[in-house]
Amino acid sequence: MTPLVSILIPAHNAGAWIAETIDSCLAQTWPRIEVVVVDDGSTDSTLNIARSYESKGVRVFSQENMGASSARNRAWDESRGEWLQFLDADDLLEREKVAAQMALAEALGGDFAYCSRWTRFSGSIAGADHTPQPLCTDSDPLDWLIIKLRDDAMMHPAAWLLSRSLAEAAGRWDGALTLDDDGEFFSRVVIASRGVRFCSRALSYYRSNTPGSLSSRRTRAAWLSAFRSLTLTSERLQSLRPGQAARSAAANAFQRLAYAAYPDEPRLARRCEERAVALGGTDVRPGGGRIFRAVAAVAGWRVARRLQAARARASATDKGSHPVR
């Protein structure tokens, strides 16, 4: 019998996008699909829109607001498929995405983690950025982790297709994490697998610049989540492959997090720098434009980051005080 693929959608206040997301699921050419939506305490039209698809076989559940990881775990529990496709409520799947990956999976088996091409878009997929992503390649699990940390590379949730058995071997989503919860989960999946296998015929779409998205939030809790996620992934990498390559990759990642967290969380930034030094140091430098680089060269990157943050706040205030025409 053709395997059933469960598409699992956590949704919170996604009323502006969820219909398009569900439509992309129902348009899949793979013959056996179930779509499971878990509304995570939305206060907008998300739940009503999702329920309007129940007549088309979409299964919809609701819960109090407990976070995206909790909603993903709930959808996982409610699903019945032998294969799992995680999909955020504002992202999209190309029509052949599941079918292309399943063709590869049926040839190679459920012990591999299957990834696809993916692209960022904002508004319409017509303007999507198709720049090749560094993790979109066949890879040994540990080499994949080194590239992820060393080069600050990512793979968004919708790019993956996993067997239920592999997902269960990796373990559930960590409900204590918010920012980079997906990075931590799929790192465990890759470690539990025989390797990553890339399907160039499959394509998923990652919506960027979404107002209020978890990935754009920079609260203290979000920064602490990113630090914990990186710490867990780094420790797993060190235990599986001790050596200079693993230490250097982790040092790069901690130093980048230090730059990103400052000046919002100076203590956390300092902890990240200390981790980077303890791992052997790094030559990673903070990103920025010409003015940023000039200030950093004279006064140091912390001063440059504070000025950069002050300019961003001033710009946001100015835009908010004038009507857009």
Residue 191 pairs in a beta bridge with: none
Please, which contacts does 106-109 make with residues 24 or more away whose CB atoms are closer than 8 Å?
106/3, 108/197
Angle between helices 220-240 and 244-261 (to 10 degrees): 180
pLDDT at position 322 is 43
- As a dihedral over the C-alpha atoms of residue 239, residue 240, residue 242, residue 248, rounded to 10 degrees, the angle is -100
Q: Which amino acid is at 157?
A: P
Rounded Cα gap, residues 205 and 208, in angstroms: 9
The two most distant CA atoms of the chain are separated, in Å, by: 67
pLDDT at position 287 is 87
pLDDT at position 316 is 62
> What are the backbone dihedrals phi and psi of residue 206, each rounded to the nearest 5 degrees, phi first?
-105, 115
Q: HSE (CB half, 13 Å, CA atoms) of 154?
A: 14
CB 190 within 8 A of CB 196: yes
What is the DSSP pairing of strand 113-122 with strand 124-129?
A: antiparallel
DSSP state at residue 263:
T
Q: Which two tokens stand for residue 170?
A: 């990796």
* pTM across the whole model: 0.92
- Going residue by residue through the chain, which has 325 residues, state the pLDDT in tens, using 9 for 90 and above: 999 999 999 999 999 999 999 999 999 999 999 999 999 999 999 999 999 999 999 999 999 999 999 999 999 999 999 999 999 999 999 999 999 999 999 999 999 999 999 999 988 888 788 888 899 999 999 999 999 999 999 999 999 999 999 999 999 999 999 999 999 999 999 999 999 999 999 999 999 876 555 455 579 999 999 999 999 999 999 998 889 999 999 999 999 999 999 999 999 999 999 999 999 999 999 988 999 999 999 999 999 999 988 988 887 665 554 433 2
pLDDT at position 323 is 39
Could you confirm whether domain 5-210 is CATH 2.40.30.10? no
Q: Which two tokens stand for residue 51?
A: 């329920």
Q: In the chain, where are the structural domains located?
A: 5-210, 216-284, 291-325
